[in-house]
Structure formats: C-alpha cells, structure tokens
Amino acid sequence: MHSSEHVAGTTIAPFLSVRNGTKAVEFYKAAFGATEQFRHDDGSGSIVARLAVDGAEFWLADESPQHQNYSPQTLNGGSVRMILIVDDPDAAFSRAVAAGAAVVWEMTNDYGWRIGRVVDPFGHHWEIGKPLPQTS
C-alpha cells in the first residue's frame, strides 16, 4: 500500500493502470461519484490515487511499462472487469455514460441481475448492476 494507514480485515481492491491518471481521477469522480482517499503526484504528471465510491475502494496509477503495469489501451484489451453493485444501477449507468463511458450493452434483467456494461475512456470495463429480488 502507498499509505501508512492500516486496513482492518481482509480486502481486495482493484488497481487500475491508465493513461493520464489525472484525467482518469476526474472521470471517475464524474462517472461514479468517486472521492479521493489518497493521491500522490510524482511531479512529472504521473499519479497514484486511491478512490472510493460509497466506501468501495479502488486504486489507479499511470501505466508504467518498466514495472509491467500496462493500460488496456496499450494491451488492446484487458483481463479484468469491474462489477459495480449499487442501489440504483440505471442511474449509475446513465451517469457513467453522460461522463464519457461507452455503452457495451444496455441495462437489462439477466441472470437474476439488473445489469449493464460500459467501457470507460481508459479501456476498463464496468458492469453496473444489482441482484434482482428472488421470486419463488
């Protein structure tokens, strides 16, 4: 971790490699209502930041090929998708699209979920949804 604070319990937080971390932070604030929990600017334009969306944390940093950290744009695809579970997925989906995310598939009810998928301007895919109530 890049912060001196202790994390209680076990957590797993995605660490996204992006091109233009400064713009990425602003996008995630606009798209998901993210807040900055930590940010380090190295002076050359590269940043490392820890963001949170309603308490759910993720990290991002400018890609650094020298450390084998590549953005989806460099790789022409990614190997991980984020699943953002929220109370109002339709509103969250619309907000992300309005902020500049591209629709991969529209919101739908599928597999017991209300869910849709977007790709952000940095190449990361986000499935935005919530489980539907169980019917018997």
Specify which residues 38 forms β-bridges with. 50
134 falls in which pLDDT band (50, 70, 90)? confident
Q: pLDDT tens digit string along 26-67?
A: 999 999 999 999 999 998 889 999 999 999 999 999 999 999
81 falls in which pLDDT band (50, 70, 90)? very high
Provide the pLDDT for residue 26. 98
3 falls in which pLDDT band (50, 70, 90)? low
Q: Report d(CA 45, CA 117) in Å as an integer.
A: 30
What's the DSSP call for residue 42?
A: -
135 falls in which pLDDT band (50, 70, 90)? confident
Q: Do residues 21 and 61 make contact, with C-beta atoms less than 8 angstroms apart? A: yes
This prediction has a pTM of: 0.89
Cα angle at 36 between 34 and 39, to 5 degrees? 140
For residue 73, which amino acid is it? Q
User: In the numeric block, which tokens belong to residue 102?
Assistant: 């591209």
**Based on the number of CB atoms within 10 Å of its own CB, is 57 exposed (0-12), middle (13-18) or buried (19 or more)?**
middle
For the cut 90, the answer to whether the pLDDT of residue 76 exceeds it is yes
For the cut 90, the answer to whether the pLDDT of residue 2 exceeds it is no
Residues belonging to the chain: 136
Catalogue all structural domains in the chain, each as residue range(s) with its CATH number: 15-68+79-131 (3.10.180.10)
Task: Give the number of other Cβ atoms within 10 Å of residue 126's Cβ.
Answer: 22
Q: Report d(CA 101, CA 9) in Å as an integer.
A: 33
Mean pLDDT of 86-106: 98
